[in-house]
Amino acid sequence: MTDQENLLGSDGIPRFWYNIVPDLPKPPAASLHPATHKPVVADDLKRLFPEALIAQETSTERLIEIPEEIREIYGLWRPTPLHRAKRLEKALDTPAHIYYKYEGVSPSGSHKPNTAVPQAYYNKQAGIKRLAIESGAGQWGCALAFAARLFGIDVTVYMVKGNSQHKPYRRIAMETWGAKVISSPSEETAAGRAVLALDPESPGSLGIAMSEAAEDASNTADTNYALGSVLNHVVMHQTVIGIEAKEQLKALGESPNIVIACCGGGTNFGGLSFPFLADKLKGKEMRAIAVEPELCPTLTKGEFRYDLGDNAGLTPLLMMYTLGHDFMPPGIHAGGMRYHGVSPLVSHLFNEGLIEARSVQQSAVFEAGVMFARCEGIIPAPESAHAIRTVIDEALRCKEQKTQKTILFCLSGHGHFDMPSYDDYLTGNLHDHELPEEQLHAALSKLPHVEFRW
Ligand SMILES: *Cc1c(COP(=O)(O)O)cnc(C)c1O
């Protein structure tokens, strides 16, 4: 989409998703089959995903029409509000204009339902009766539990045992929307039983939960798998954020100089920034900054190469910035930002020098989150507070340089389920560390060498 296009319906909700691929100067690298190292074909993915989503994953169409039934459900919370953070501007004494797109108004409190709803819709169309997924922090589980229920699809969530014990409220939310939540490792799958045979007290891990979900989905004909981040179709669904923001800013006579979002798997960043980058690709000047945790620095310290999208070996090999699929980040508080890789599209743009990346320490992130809450009222998710840290840094730079810039960021969710992490910060129990170099390189050195050039 460019400045000239208005992709919104009269209800203010987008009529299209934006696919950045055909606008890119150089096409991104193909995803490869993990065994043959040949570009994946639709058949490789059919055991896990419905055909419509596989088609979107590799689409070269610029605009993909959003089915009316999905737009109607989006209407439960979309368009989301665009706010100007005037009190924050004042507290910082900055000439910058700070705007944020607030995705925390969705039923599950984050941007994830933007993709959960279409994923449930296309699975329903394909006759799928149940979705099996893993859940770490629980945001994706909540979004999908809510969305699938609207289409009468059952959801089984394999939730890492440690998390379901420490964060019971997300489990209860999923169950309220009708999902079945199973503590992983479980007796339900061969993968789970194998772990329990070795260690009956195993606290589980995201990798184990993922193997359980994938085994369940691929062994059952009417059951599919669903991913809440990273893949191309997921980023594309999230472009409703940027498409709306662009029109909302235009109505105010503004256009952002800097667009900022936190970056876990890259979808709220891509969703907000891609519609603006469409103009940058046509020559308009603007910057987009992806912000990640210092302890999981995928873009800033990872390598651009082929790696598995998951530690169970299910997804194709993706060309992306990665820390290695075995990388286990330290237990940081932003559960949604512990992923070892980042969206291949975001990676490609970064490698082409079209976007910037920055990493920030936890205590600086929570300092920013608390400042935002005290100025604007909303308590941000720890993930979103990464973006706010960088917004504050950029706004202070504007003050120093006496320049007026317009900054737009994505407030990807609220922090109401993550209050224990704020408690740790407020009581002085949150500590910063450096990521040891050995840990950074250990997982990368184990990756297979892939002979493939595009
Ligand atoms: C999952 C999540 C993220 C990280 O995922 P992305 O794919 O990078 O957007 C960020 N913020 C919130 C609130 C989340 O739930």
Query: What residue owns the CA closest to ligand 1's atom 1?
Result: 336
pLDDT-derived band of residue 245, with 50, 70 and 90 as boundaries?
very high
| 428 Cβ contact partners less than 8 Å away, ≥ 6 residues apart | none
Q: What is the pLDDT of residues 135-146, one digit of tens each?
A: 888 999 999 999
pLDDT for residue 206 is more than 90: no
Give, for ligand 1, the residue of 262, 339, 417 to mutate: max count of ligand atoms closer than 8 Å to Cβ.
262
This prediction's pTM: 0.96
pLDDT for residue 454 is more than 50: no
Chosen domain end from 212, 227, 242: 227
337 CA distance to ligand 1 centroid (A)?
7
Where in the sequence is the domain holding 184, given as residue range(s)? 113-227
Closest-lying ligand 1 atom to the alpha carbon of residue 342? 8
268 CA distance to ligand 1 centroid (A)?
6
151 CA distance to ligand 1 centroid (A)?
24
Closest-lying ligand 1 atom to the alpha carbon of residue 414? 13
Q: What is the pLDDT of residues 45-81, one digit of tens each?
A: 888 899 999 999 999 999 999 999 999 999 999 999 9
Chosen domain end from 227, 252, 268: 227
Question: What's the chain's average pLDDT?
Answer: 93
| Domain-embedded: residue 218 | yes
Tell whether 267 and 135 lie within a shared domain: no
338 CA distance to ligand 1 centroid (A)?
10
Tell whether 292 and 312 lie within a shared domain: yes
| Domain-embedded: residue 119 | yes
pLDDT for residue 208 is more than 90: no
Q: What is the mean pLDDT of residues 311-340?
A: 83
Tell whether 371 and 423 lie within a shared domain: yes
315 CA distance to ligand 1 centroid (A)?
20
Q: How many domains does the chain have?
A: 2
CA distances from 77 to 60, 67, 270, 453 (A): 29, 17, 20, 43
Tell whether 302 and 390 lie within a shared domain: yes
CATH number reported for the structural domain that contains residue 175 in this entry: 3.40.50.1100
| Domain-embedded: residue 237 | yes
| Domain-embedded: residue 39 | no
Residues in contact with ligand 1 (CB, 6 Å cut-off): 110, 112, 139, 229, 262-269, 336-337, 381, 383-384, 412-413
Tell whether 414 and 287 lie within a shared domain: yes
Chosen domain end from 197, 227, 257: 227
Closest-lying ligand 1 atom to the alpha carbon of residue 139? 15
Residue 176 CA to residue 199 CA, distance in Å, equals 31
| Domain-embedded: residue 387 | yes
Query: What residue owns the CA closest to ligand 1's atom 13?
Result: 413
Q: What is the pLDDT of residues 409-450, one digit of tens each?
A: 999 999 999 999 999 999 999 989 888 888 888 888 888 777
Write down the pLDDT at residue 453: 47
Write down the pLDDT at residue 204: 85
269 CA distance to ligand 1 centroid (A)?
9
| Domain-embedded: residue 158 | yes
Tell whether 266 and 179 lie within a shared domain: no
Write down the pLDDT at residue 452: 56
Backbone angles phi, psi at 306, to 5 degrees: -75, 135
| Domain-embedded: residue 299 | yes
Tell whether 323 and 179 lie within a shared domain: no
Tell whether 308 and 427 lie within a shared domain: yes
